[in-house]
Amino acid sequence: MDLAFNKEEVEFREQVKAFLSSSVPPLAAKRVAMGLPVSPKDVIEWQKTLYAKGWGAVSWPVEFGGTGWNAAQQYIFEEECALANAPLQPAFGLKMVAPVIMAFGWPEQKTKYLPRIIAGEDWWCQGYSEPGSGSDLASLKTQAQRVGQHYIVNGQKTWTTLAQHANMIFCLVRTQFDGRKQEGISFLLIDMRSSGVSVRPIIMLDGEHEINEVWFDNVKVPVGNLVGEENRGWTYAKYLLGHERTNIAQVGKSKRELRKLISLAKQQEGPHGRLIDDIRLRDQIANIEIELNALEITNMRVIADHAQGEIGPKASLLKIKGAEIQQQLTELKMQLLGPYSVVHVKEGLNLDWQKPSGLSHYPEYAPALTGAYFNYRKTTIYGGSNEIQRNIISKMMLDL
């Protein structure tokens, strides 16, 4: 596949640029540009802006409110959003649970949930991992027992991203206890406001509250919230993970961060002049750029496959290399900071932070870089660890 876009695609890129230049909220863009956390309010407002434009879900079919864009258009849009420092759209709803509902949900579920997702009216989180059930997800223990027209759910999920803001969670639960463990799992949609749901924060190394434990204590869930068939949730979970792994690649974001890395290397002075003049650093940057170009081509192929309804092992390639590139970028930025990389000031993640006199030379972009370094240690683990992805590739692509 050639990334030399045709005339219509070049014109489309200009349309996207024009819209983004006038529509991305300046304050949110500043936070994104500096690598600072963006509030859920900013994310939802941006989703509503895109929805009003008709661009709320660029990968969705037209019948569900999507744009019907081809793979090149989807790629151009996401790349330009990253370069314009637009907030990320709420991926758990748009890019994870929505495709599952479209493919396996009942008509009533499609009518109820899809319009709310694309309009930014619901915030979803993901209930997959449990203590002791991460990479071996099929060993999960959260159970749902059917009583009349409800399931009674009991158990615990962990590492649940932004659950403190969510009003809905899609959950894998055990509904059968004999036979192969993969065959006893079901896929439930649960209202986070239900009695018996509790959220407990997990504070990360950078001091941020991004992930949580979610507990279910005799939570009543209507049978109508079961997606597809009972005990077939493992099939739906794998389908969702294909979409999640594609989203993890974040090619546009990595291209933006690569530009930022090069800019910082030009600004920073070392013992022998600008850091960008260090040949070893330039080699490292060049290697990342080459790998990112290869990832870009693969990403386009996977987007094209998704448009044809194919969710295959290529998504595992995206997940592996996308995660590794993100980590490499944060590692190099930390090297550029030198001794300042040792210091992490959580308060520096606020736009109005005033540096104390003892940190007068501490760069304003340092807190975000050190925070990102801590945070991006997880990229090779979530969405299925990179080791698991290599197993998938060896089995499904290499026939080993």
Residue 147 in domain: yes
**DSSP-assigned letter for residue 96:** I
Residue 323 in domain: yes
Last residue of a domain, which of 207, 233, 259?
233
State the Cα–Cα distance between residues 394 and 15, nearest whole angstrom. 42
Shared-domain flag, residues 320 and 361: yes
Shared-domain flag, residues 202 and 311: no
Helix 314-337 with 386-396: angle, nearest 10 deg: 150
Residue 243 in domain: no
Residue 97 in domain: no
Q: What is the DSSP string of 283-314?
A: HHHHHHHHHHHHHHHHHHHHHHHHHTT---TH
Of 78-92, 164-178, 234-248, 276-290, minimum mean pLDDT range: 234-248
Shared-domain flag, residues 297 and 190: no
Q: Which residues are catalytic?
A: 244
Shared-domain flag, residues 254 and 391: yes
* Tens of pLDDT, residues 72-103: 898 899 999 999 999 999 999 999 999 999 99
**DSSP-assigned letter for residue 400:** -
Instruction: Tell me the CATH number at 292.
Output: 1.20.140.10
Last residue of a domain, which of 173, 200, 233?
233
**pLDDT higher than threshold 60 for residue 148:** yes
Shared-domain flag, residues 325 and 229: no
**Please, are residues 170 and 153 in contact by the beta-carbon 8 Å criterion?**
no
How many Cα atoms are found within 13 Å in the side-chain-facing hemisphere of 146?
12
State the Cα–Cα distance between residues 203 and 371, nearest whole angstrom. 13
Instruction: Assign 382 a pLDDT band (cuts: 50, 70, 90).
Output: confident
Shared-domain flag, residues 213 and 256: no
Shared-domain flag, residues 63 and 154: no
Q: What is the DSSP string of 322-378?
A: HHHHHHHHHHHHHHHHGGGGG---GGGGSTT----GGGTTS-TTHHHHHHHHHHGGG
| 92 phi, psi to nearest 5 deg | -60, -35
**DSSP-assigned letter for residue 88:** P
Whole-number percent of the chain with pLDDT over 90: 62
> Partners of 198 in the beta sheet?
215
Closest CA to 134 of 232, 241, 217: 241
The pLDDT of 141-146, averaged and rounded, is: 97
Shared-domain flag, residues 369 and 284: yes
Last residue of a domain, which of 89, 111, 133?
89
**Dihedral class, residue 365 (left if φ above 0, else alpha if ψ from -120 to 50, else beta):** alpha
Q: Which domain holds residue 134?
A: 124-233
Closest CA to 169 of 204, 208, 221, 205: 221
**pLDDT higher than threshold 80 for residue 114:** yes
Instruction: Tell me the CATH number at 152.
Output: 2.40.110.10
Residue 27 in domain: yes
The pLDDT of 253-268, averaged and rounded, is: 91
Domain count, the chain: 3
Shared-domain flag, residues 226 and 266: no
Instruction: Assign 241 a pLDDT band (cuts: 50, 70, 90).
Output: confident
Residue 71 in domain: yes
Name the 3-class secondary structure at 146: strand
* Tens of pLDDT, residues 164-177: 999 999 999 999 98
Shared-domain flag, residues 184 and 284: no
Residue 156 in domain: yes
Shared-domain flag, residues 386 and 276: yes
Residue 117 in domain: no
**Please, are residues 213 and 202 in contact by the beta-carbon 8 Å criterion?**
yes
Shared-domain flag, residues 181 and 263: no
